[in-house]
Amino acid sequence: MTTKKIILKYLSKRINEGVPVISSIHIETQLPKYGRLHCDTTRLPSAYSRTWRKIRENKEYNEIGVIDLKEISNQNKTKTWQIIT
């Protein structure tokens, strides 16, 4: 399974669980665990971050019915996006 497919599958999971947000912390910590447990594959956090950036730039999240990702302002340095379906 490609890194892109793992990320899109993880986004779908968050949407289905009623958690329509994702942050850079999720990308760097939760996605490697998710990929290992649910997709039987190991990727470096940096691979997920690069692919996540590409998905956002090219709006490839549309493939799973996501209309847009809106960056949410917060007080810390962690970037967080609202998943708009």
Task: Tell me the three-class secondary structure of 54-84, residue by residue.
Answer: HHHHHCHHHHHCCCEEEEECCCCCCCEEEEE
Query: pLDDT tens digit string along 21-54?
Result: 999 999 999 999 999 999 999 999 999 999 999 9
Q: What average pLDDT does range 47-66 have in this prediction?
A: 95
Q: Which CATH number goes with the domain that contains 59?
A: 1.10.10
- DSSP annotation of 25 reads H
Q: Domain range spanning residue 49?
A: 3-84
The confidence score (pLDDT) of residue 73 equals 81
Helix (H, G, I), strand (E, B) or coil at 21: strand
* pTM of this structure: 0.90
**Cα radius of gyration rounded to whole Å, the chain:** 12
Task: Give the total number of structural domains in the chain.
Answer: 1
